A and B are shown apart, each in its own frame.
Chain A
Amino acid sequence: MGMAIRRSLAAVASILMAVGLAGTARAQSTTASAPVTLRVGVTADLDTDNVWALSGGSDWTVATSEYDMLMKFSSEDLTAAPSLATGCDHNDDYTRWTCTLRDGLRWSDGQPLTSEDVAFSYRFVIDNKIPQYKSYFPNDPVFTTPNATTLVWSTKEPTFGTSTPPWAYIVPEHVWAPYDGKELKEIRAVGQTPAVASGPFILTSWTPGQGWVMERNQYYWGPTPALDRIEYHVYTNPEAMVTALKNGEIDAADGLEPALINSVTNAPNVAVQKVVSDWWLNLAFNFGGQPGSDYTPMPALHDLDVRTAIEMAIDKNAIVNKVYQGAANTGDTIVRPASAFWHLDIPADQEFPYDPTAAQQLLDEAGYRDTNNDGIREDPNTGQPLTMTIPASSDTTGAVQSGELIVGFLKKIGISVDLKPATDAKMNDYWGHGNFDAYIWYWSGDPDPNYQLFVFTSEQCGYYSDGCWQDKHFDDLYEQQRTMMDQTARQQVVQEAQLYQYEQVPGVVLAYPNWLEAYRTDRFTGWIGAPGPNGYLLPTYNYDPWISLKPMTGASSSASSGLPAWIWLVAAAAVAGIVVIVVMRSRRTGVDEA
């Protein structure tokens, strides 16, 4: 055998030896005592550590663990619950809210946290027009601080104040004051690792693409968490994340793919949480009229009978079961079920049934018949076939697959669909230019329904509105609820708006997909959901899970995966032996070969 082969084998042996030593080192390292660490797998990396730049990814999870809000969302039903403030009271006409902060609050750097910090945070949002938070402060509010533990929030018009907690984090004035009034780009570029915050855990290291670590804040005002550290590991391959969970490399996994749900459901020591949906998959019809658009969507969509027939032709159960593997509920209204207080579950007798036959009959009666026997109905007014171009977001879980089913559903009632899968970048183009007949995309919103109703109002045509549906009655209902301070009375109007919108079918709410989380049952106890038992186990609305989690007695704190070190050593020794034998044999045969 030639020298090159011998060298190659020697190289391989060296690598195996190195990895073998690594195995030994690993075996040694895992025996050392370690802090109580929760390891979480995520598929979405952190985009930013800057609280003013939060966007997608895992940004909100980290910010929610680090920062407090003045009042927080309760774990039970997302209503206002004490946080930095023990409570807030309003005057008779809801123009002044007075909040009392806890005594002795401190930031993670040991500095005192006072009502001035709260007032500064809110003013910072308003003055610097921070997009994510500014909508929580309508009616030009003024914030005053009579003393270190009192904040007064005043407006000229009635305001919800803290009755629905403004989802704006409280930041330290001594850190952010130097950036007040700067360009938004400059504000968003400030690195915050480690951050100065008041929540139970602080981001202490972040390596983009790999993960991040949060350590316990020693100045946290609440009960001391049992966790010392939370490690997040980024997986770009969802299957790998599930494997890591099953192997015990991680203790929890966030954002599982529906297609993988069966592979974890029966895995030992693993439980799956189907989180009550806070987003929905929407088939939005385009009514046209976007500013600058010269596209004319299918005219028949202006006919309520056609829209109703489409709604009745779509088998939402099939979407739930085939696309989401059962990890979803059929959709009905535009306020997601996670906002349980506001969501209207359409009564069965008012629901559009899945009934393709009735849908065909409805189209027949409305005059939409297949006049040329090509399987596609024609519009009696224009003579044009009922053909729809429907883009579907390939970045939204289940959108394209649902679209594929819808192609078949609508074909059955004589409507042809040209489905166009598109990235969100392309969907944004469709949305902006209005060159579609309908599209399939997602919507999500706040616990409060205002934003979700707002995007369907007439004035949003060309802005947030999907397809420029414009309806004065809906607009009136939106305005009515916006100024109602009595939450029970407002609930009735909000639900009336949902029912009305559902009946007018400006689109079809196809499904409320569950967010999927999974966790090991042999490592920690105390998993609590928000909202309610079927809510998020990992921080989304609040950080309560970080406080309630406790390590189980006898649970190992190290990864259980790994080849035993002795196997590595045996393998390395075996390869080294082979190299020796080959070399000796080669020397003996060298003369013959020559």
Chain B
Amino acid sequence: MGSRRYLLSKTLQAVVTLWFVLTFNFFLFRILPGDPVALLARSEKLTPDDIARLQHDLGLDLPMVEQYGVYLRETLTGNLGESLTTGIPVTDLIKTRLWPTVLLVGLGTILSAWLGVVIGIRGGWRRGSRFDTTSQYGSLVLYAMPEGWLGMLLLLLFSGMLHWFPAGGYASSTLTGTARIADLLDHLFLPLLTLTLGYIGSFSIVMRSSMIDTIAEDYVQTARAKGVPDRLIRQRHVVPNAFLPAFTLIILSFGFVLGGAIVIESVYSWPGLGLLTYQAINTLDYPVIQGVFLIASAAVIVANLVADVTYGYLDPRIRQA
């Protein structure tokens, strides 16, 4: 298959998937029990007339198909609607939460991918060594550990007992300049540490396993037989080939960045997209749920596309298949 055709085919698949996700998101949340406006009945003392009026104002009294049409049209023009609970435009809400999520989850993904790959390379290369055994057990423990539990442990230790870091939240809005950066880093450290520890296992396990498989390949044995130095075998023959599965995992992980880290953001009260999603689901805030799911899904689809395309270039066998 030619490069252009391969690229077109993958892009088309991504667009179709995005439309499917768009449609699925719309209908999925509308079959959940409950009426978002009626939910306010007790707290706002809404009468049935008030409820009907609000439903009309919000377009929730339209037939489902009509709502879907409005949703598609508005989404395609970049209008994600307004939050049912706050009245704030969804795009504004997402913008507010985007940076904290990118900072935390993006940085966490970079750190954990980097450390995980490095650990995996070393462990796989020296299979059975003390480093390998220790790192393998460590990776498995971290991989299996629930993030929320790990977060609570670190919170209790570093904030509750040692008082080294704040118990949660984000940089104070009243601070400026260096003090604000300092405050931000102060608040960032624990969630970042939790996220990095939580993610590191998956990268190191995949990388180690791939290293072990690659070392056993004939071309590696041939290189050894030819007397190529170990360092060169590792750097030029093993790591580049063993990195392919880890590379896919890394790219896909970046796709999940915009989905936020719901559990860690909740534990540390980190105001990211994950927390926004959780809160929107609780209040059946349809426009917000649709908005964040759209952004998160689009990011995954794009990351998938990038992985497909890049993988095709990194490994020509894929393109030719």
| B contact residues vs A (CB 8 Å cutoff) | 32-36, 38-48, 50, 53-54, 57-58, 82, 85-88, 93, 96-97, 100, 111, 114-115, 117-118, 121-122, 152, 155-156, 159-160, 162-170, 172-175, 178-179, 181-186, 189, 229-232, 234, 265-269, 271-272, 275-276, 278-279, 282, 284
Contact = CB atoms under 8 A, between A and B. Distances in A.
B160 A19 contact: no
Given A19-B189, A189-B87, A237-B267, 16 more contacts: A23-B186, A26-B179, A26-B183, A53-B87, A131-B44, A185-B58, A210-B271, A234-B169, A235-B168, A237-B168, A240-B168, A425-B284, A428-B35, A443-B42, A563-B164, A594-B232
Contacts of A213: 173-174
Interface in A545-594: 559-563, 593-594
Contacts of A463: 47-48
A48 B87 contact: yes
A424 interface: yes
A463 B160 CA distance: 47
A29 B182 contact: yes
A183 B57 contact: yes
Contact of B44 (A132, A234, A429): A132
A404 B159 CA distance: 34
A395 B114 CA distance: 41
Given A5-B122, A25-B181, A29-B179, A240 B167 contact: yes
A196 interface: no
B3 to A, nearest CB: 31
A56 B36 CA distance: 13
A516 B86 CA distance: 26
A210 B169 contact: yes
A243 B155 contact: yes
Contact of A562 (B93, B122, B163, B276): B163
A199 B41 CA distance: 28
Contacts of B85: 47-48, 55
20 contacts: A2-B121, A2-B234, A4-B117, A8-B115, A25-B178, A29-B183, A37-B174, A131-B45, A205-B173, A207-B170, A209-B96, A209-B100, A209-B275, A229-B174, A231-B174, A244-B166, A395-B282, A425-B35, A463-B47, A593-B231
A129 interface: yes
Given A131-B46, A428-B38, A562 B57 contact: no
Contacts of B165: 561-563
B175 A29 contact: yes
Given A11-B114, A29-B178, A243 B160 contact: yes
- Interface of A: prevailing SS: mixed
B227 to A, nearest CB: 12
A203 to B, nearest CB: 12
Given A29-B182, A183-B57, A561-B159, A4 B121 contact: yes
A370 to B, nearest CB: 35
A298 to B, nearest CB: 23
A209 B173 contact: no
A480 interface: no
Nearest to A445: B45
A428 B173 contact: no
A500 interface: no
Interface string A188-202: 110000000000000
Contacts of A559: 166
A72 interface: no
**Which of A45, A50, A425, A443 counts the most chain B CB atoms within 10 A?**
A425
A68 interface: no
Contacts of A205: 173
Contact of B279 (A45, A243, A246): A45
A249 B166 contact: yes
A48 B41 CA distance: 17
B39 A47 contact: no
B230 A593 contact: yes
Contact of A189 (B32, B82, B97, B162): B82
A533 interface: no
Contacts of B82: 189
B88 A25 contact: no
Contacts of A562: 163-166, 186
B34 to A, nearest CB: 3
A426 interface: yes
Nearest to B58: A185
Interface in A34-91: 37, 45, 47-48, 50, 53-56
**Which of A207, A428, A463, A464 counts the most chain B CB atoms within 10 A?**
A428
A18 interface: yes
A216 interface: no
A213 B171 CA distance: 13
A18 B185 contact: yes
A202 B237 CA distance: 66
A45 B276 CA distance: 11
A184 B46 CA distance: 13
B271 A239 contact: no
A426 B34 contact: yes
Given A207-B96, A236-B275, A594-B231, A135 B45 contact: yes
A2 B271 contact: no
Interface string A1-24: 010110010010001001101111
**Which of A4, A45, A132 counts the most chain B CB atoms within 10 A?**
A4
Contacts of A37: 174
Nearest to B162: A563
Contacts of B282: 395, 423
B165 to A, nearest CB: 7
A247 B167 contact: yes
Interface in A212-227: 213
A375 interface: no
B50 A129 contact: yes
Nearest to A53: B87
A161 to B, nearest CB: 20
Interface string A429-449: 100100000000001000000
B45 A25 contact: no
B44 A55 contact: yes
A176 interface: no
Contacts of A132: 44-45
**Which of A22, A231, A241 counts the most chain B CB atoms within 10 A?**
A22
B158 to A, nearest CB: 8
A231 B93 CA distance: 21
Given A131-B44, A240-B269, A26 B173 contact: no
A295 interface: no
Contacts of A426: 33-34
Contacts of B115: 8
A184 B86 contact: no
